[in-house]
Structure 1
Amino acid sequence: MFPRQQIASLALSLFVGVLSVCADEAPARPNIVFILIDDMGCKDAGCYGATNFATPHVDRLASQGMRFTSAYAAPVCSPTRASLMTGKHPARVHITNFIPQIGRQLPTGKLIPPNFDHALSLHEKTLAESLHAGGYQNAMIGKWHLGEEQGPEYRPQNRGFDHVVLSQHHGIFNYFYPFVDQEKWPYAGPLPGKAGDYLPDRLTDEAIEFVRENRENPFFLYLSHWSVHGPYFAPEKLVAKYRERGLEERPAIYAAMMETVDNSVGRLMATLDELKLTDKTLFIFMSDNGGERITSMAPLRGSKGSLYEGGVRVPLVVRYPGVVPQGSTCDVPVISHDLFPTLLDVAGVTYDADQLDGVSIAGLLTGKQTSLDREALYWHFPHYWGSTRPCGAIRKDDWKLVEHFETGRCELYDLKSDPGEQHDLADDMPQQTSELRDSLAQWRKRVNAQMPTRP
């Protein structure tokens, strides 16, 4: 087995090799547009099987690029965002739950959850800081949720982003103008607007303006939508459209919200076309965790906050004309912290792969690789969330084990034959269960994962 640094170099060589073949089409330092949706379920786009939602732009993006069928994130938002910015597992950076507003108490139960970090450590070098050192202009527009309430040094303005719009905490915002309570959140804005303006549209306006102003130089746009997170509000005209299709009120609102984020994708795609930047831009579309119960992840089990597939499997679409094969799919399991080394490979920025948990998927994007040199994927959620109790999980090949920390009970599933995790094989396959449980425990020690304790 090769050292991680050599694997990273191989992935970069493969990517650069494809770029050299397509030198007329692909720049050495492409622009990067990364759209992150909040709480979008893995089945909520037409290209992933949705029938109640209109997502023609996401579907077109997939038809022009690569759609991942086994992409994963953390079960809630802040851990995923921390992994994207650092290339490290949320357990390693000790951000294993969403970061609450100051003063808010999180649930407890039979176990006492660990006191996880409520801000991304200043010792961590962010993706934006690395790209900035490589000559990129960076914008963070929308939801940060990595400790901005803890002080100015934790805000994206001081973590490598040159242009920041509306960094605020959930619970202190509105989907319609005015978007933020300036008394409670004075440093978030204000985001200009007028009565009736809808937040996803205004964030997209700001993103398009940034692209126009930086079209001459490589840029990294991180458009992190609050949608489709609750509370659920959307323009009445769109909601009425889905009511007429027979949807009940809340599903109709959710469908309308999905259409607005799809329109955001379409507007940015149109802007890149207009500015002749499409062939010079790597475009990523992803969700930060599984969907809420308002939507359906069927046949997958679970939803946001769960370590079952419905809580951690997410949509991921990547387009890069001339490099990523059009209309392709990738079934290799990948996870959010893989995007940190991948984007640095694409940008030609060096990094120490041995310091990361993520593995570059640049070779998968070109089609030159069909697998990743990785032992397993891991999740660590030592917290209470709805019906979820503190737990951990490991996926190795098609085997998935979920360990419950309150009881020590383990569940074992064969995702190939049972993607809905309906048939627990732990009692039937004790050796496989024991091996995966031991691997999960060893991994927790390696990353110094925080564990819940008993009162």
Structure 2
Amino acid sequence: MNEASKVDRAIADRMMGDKKMKTRLKYFWQIVFCLTVLLGSVLARLADGAEPKPMNIVLFLIDDLGWRDLGCQGSAYYQTPHIDRLAQEGVRFTDAYAACAVCSPTRAALMTGKYPARLLLTDWLPSGRWNPKAKLREGRFIRGLPIEEFTLAEALREAGYRTASIGKWHLGSEPFSLPEHHGFDVNIAGNAHGAPGSYFFPYQGNWLIPTTGLRAKWNVLADGKPGEYLTDRLTDEAVTFIQESRDKPFFLYFPHYGVHTPLQAKEDIIARYETVPEDQRQGKLVYAAMVQSIDDSVGRVLATLEESQLDQNTVVIFTSDNGGFYNATSNAPLRANKGAYYEGGIRVPLIVKWPDIAIPGLIVNEPVTSTDLYPTCLAAAELPLRPNQHLDGVNLKPLLNGTSQRLPQRSLFWHYPHYNDHPSSVPSSVIRKGPWKLIETFDPEGIELYDLANDIGETKNLAATETTRTAELLEELNRWRVTVGAERMFPNPDFDPSEVPAKKSKKK
């Protein structure tokens, strides 16, 4: 290489080096700028005392709301625009289940993250062995939420949350069973009662105590104003709680008494449904009006969160404690109703809105259940999970943010060693694994197997043809019952067939 070429090469190398240096300096100053902006933002937030606040949590638990009793669930009859909007802004689960087909056990499962059979709280409270002449003696069950359980509310309160239970509690009549002893700072209308005497003030009622001829009087909320409607009153209390909790993370557990019986609603809302032709009515007019009042309640809570600038910092969960009541609504295409262990008794709506996490409008088909809400709420609060407490629940966050379409493989279980008066209800144990659902009934004795992926209405019992699958599921169900210490039913030595009512239809 001659001298001229060497000089040209040196100049070129120098220019290339200068270019690389300029590029590096450009990136360096970009990084410095970003860090400066970020540091300034952090310092400004600290100066204002605005440290990142944990997510608030609002959990609606509606009583006896059927799986299809919402517009977003396919109903053309019930008018639920606010709940439908919640579904559009959050994630809707198609295969969500209540932990029990009646109320108290589901509430206990939600609060503890444990199956009712594990808790030994398997029937609604207070209830009892209604017929001493029945074929089987019912399984034992406890009459209140054990004080030893570390509830979801206790976990959140320990982390600095302000906690409130506004509405139906129904987890025991002893003082230690009430919300104040299970992690709630505020308890409004939560007591031993499972329903109001009336939805209009003074909310009083009386109940014929079985086998005694005596009547018990009760009142779920002592104060109020003439004409006041319970769903509206509880919503007033919820709005006040939110407004008073702006400066502290809060957990609002909002278990409405609606839409449980007695079927009572505001006349002006009932009138809106009177024009619907009878053959297009999914349920009773009064029930439709009760559902709409629940929707109005959800709308008011969402509006309060927005007005308080808390909507982007609040997780909102909406679900039901069991399927729809047979004398109020139709659960079709699902089979049966509240109290039964066909899909109409246990499949429920579930919607989760979690800003910046839950993908708006996402529909999830993975089977989930009430016990999953405990660890999911802990995750929303950015708290460590408590697997030794919520033994039967899993965190649903991976489903909400699209990280996963499936949870780690698991089966779901139910166990109900009791009789009740709901149509299609018989003492049963159930397992769902994938699309397959097996029901073992105790009285009458029987095995039923359904492929829910192709038969959501449970019309074709495949137990006789899918014998291997039936045996495998029954074996897994038996192992689970042993693991959780599920109560058994035993032959009743006082059985008298003449004093046992005829079995109700198990058809849709």
TM-score (norm 1): 0.90
Q: Given the alignment, which residue of 379, 384, 390 partners 1:350?
A: 384
Q: Given the alignment, which residue of 278, 284, 288 partners 1:251?
A: 284
Could you tell me which runs of 5 or more consecutive residues in structure 2 were left unpaired when the two chains were aligned: 1-41, 46-50, 207-215, 493-508
Cα displacement string for residues 70-129 of structure 1 (whole angstroms, at most 9, x for unaligned residues):
00011110011000000000100011111126xx65356211111211101111111100
Residue 286 (1) aligns with residue 319 (2): yes
Residue 88 (1) aligns with residue 114 (2): yes
Look up the match of 1:334: 368
Look up the match of 1:302: 336
> Could you tell me how far apart the structure 2 residues matched to 1:237 and 1:250 are?
17
Note if contact 1:129-1:160 (Cα within 8 Å) is conserved in structure 2.
Answer: yes
> Could you tell me how far apart the structure 1 residues matched to 2:185 and 2:282 are?
40
Q: Given the alignment, which residue of 90, 94, 100 partners 1:69?
A: 94
Cα displacement string for residues 170-194 of structure 1 (whole angstroms, at most 9, x for unaligned residues):
35532001124699457x542x321
What secondary structure is seen at the aligned counterpart in 2 of 1:353?
Answer: coil
Look up the match of 1:130: 155
Alignment of 1:186-335 (within 5 A): 189-190=221-222, 192-247=223-278, 251-293=284-326, 294-335=328-369
> Could you tell me how far apart the structure 2 residues matched to 1:420 and 1:360 are?
29
Look up the match of 2:491: 454
Note if contact 2:62-2:321 (Cα within 8 Å) is conserved in structure 1.
Answer: yes
Q: Relative to structure 1, is the Cα distance of residues 262 and 115 closer, same or farther in structure 2, using a 3 angstrom cutoff? A: same
> Could you tell me how far apart the structure 2 residues matched to 1:397 and 1:165 are?
40
Greater displacement, 441-450 / 384-393: 384-393
Question: How far does residue 250 in structure 1 lie from its aligned partner after superposition?
Answer: 7.1
Look up the match of 2:461: 424
What secondary structure is seen at the aligned counterpart in 1 of 2:315?
Answer: strand
Look up the match of 1:16: none
Note if contact 1:27-1:280 (Cα within 8 Å) is conserved in structure 2.
Answer: no
Give the superposed CA RMSD: 2.1
> Could you tell me how far apart the structure 1 residues matched to 2:200 and 2:273 are?
20
> Could you tell me how far apart the structure 2 residues matched to 1:234 and 1:349 are?
40
Note if contact 1:28-1:348 (Cα within 8 Å) is conserved in structure 2.
Answer: no
> Could you tell me how far apart the structure 2 residues matched to 1:249 and 1:62 are?
21
Letter of the 2:393 counterpart:
G
Greater displacement, 51-60 / 177-186: 177-186
Residue 445 (1) aligns with residue 482 (2): yes
Letter of the 1:382 counterpart:
P
Look up the match of 1:378: 413
Letter of the 1:348 counterpart:
E
> Could you tell me how far apart the structure 2 residues matched to 1:354 and 1:249 are?
43
Q: Relative to structure 1, is the Cα distance of residues 346 and 263 closer, same or farther in structure 2, using a 3 angstrom cutoff? A: same
> Could you tell me how far apart the structure 2 residues matched to 1:365 and 1:118 are?
35
Question: How far does residue 421 in structure 1 lie from its aligned partner after superposition?
Answer: 0.6
What secondary structure is seen at the aligned counterpart in 2 of 1:317?
Answer: strand
Question: How far does residue 354 in structure 1 lie from its aligned partner after superposition?
Answer: 4.1
TM-score (norm 2): 0.81
Q: Given the alignment, which residue of 470, 474, 478 partners 1:433?
A: 470
Question: How far does residue 408 in structure 1 lie from its aligned partner after superposition?
Answer: 3.8
> Could you tell me how far apart the structure 2 residues matched to 1:376 and 1:214 are?
39
Note if contact 1:232-1:250 (Cα within 8 Å) is conserved in structure 2.
Answer: no
Cα displacement string for residues 285-322 of structure 1 (whole angstroms, at most 9, x for unaligned residues):
10100101121111111110111111100000111222
> Could you tell me how far apart the structure 1 residues matched to 2:274 and 2:304 are?
31
Question: How far does residue 382 in structure 1 lie from its aligned partner after superposition?
Answer: 0.9
What secondary structure is seen at the aligned counterpart in 1 of 2:116?
Answer: coil
Cα displacement string for residues 222-245 of structure 1 (whole angstroms, at most 9, x for unaligned residues):
111111111100011111221122
Letter of the 1:38 counterpart:
D
Note if contact 2:196-2:262 (Cα within 8 Å) is conserved in structure 1.
Answer: no
Note if contact 1:309-1:420 (Cα within 8 Å) is conserved in structure 2.
Answer: yes
Residue 153 (1) aligns with residue 176 (2): yes
Note if contact 2:195-2:257 (Cα within 8 Å) is conserved in structure 1.
Answer: no
Instruction: Report the identity percentage.
Output: 46
Look up the match of 1:49: 74
Number of residue equivalences: 426
Cα displacement string for residues 33-89 of structure 1 (whole angstroms, at most 9, x for unaligned residues):
011100000000000001111000000000001000000011110011000000000
Question: How far does residue 28 in structure 1 lie from its aligned partner after superposition?
Answer: 5.7
What secondary structure is seen at the aligned counterpart in 1 of 2:271?
Answer: helix
Cα displacement string for residues 244-274 of structure 1 (whole angstroms, at most 9, x for unaligned residues):
2235897100000000000000000000110
Q: Greater relative contact order: 1 or 2 (C-alpha under 8 angstroms, separation 6 or more)? A: 1
> Could you tell me how far apart the structure 1 residues matched to 2:378 and 2:131 are?
38
Q: Which has the larger radius of gyration?
A: 2
> Could you tell me how far apart the structure 2 residues matched to 1:98 and 1:213 are?
34
Cα displacement string for residues 193-243 of structure 1 (whole angstroms, at most 9, x for unaligned residues):
211110000000000000000011100001111111111000111112211
> Could you tell me how far apart the structure 1 residues matched to 2:67 and 2:131 are?
27
Q: Relative to structure 1, is the Cα distance of residues 171 and 297 closer, same or farther in structure 2, using a 3 angstrom cutoff? A: closer
Letter of the 1:42 counterpart:
W
What secondary structure is seen at the aligned counterpart in 1 of 2:153?
Answer: helix
Letter of the 2:261 counterpart:
G
Look up the match of 1:4: none
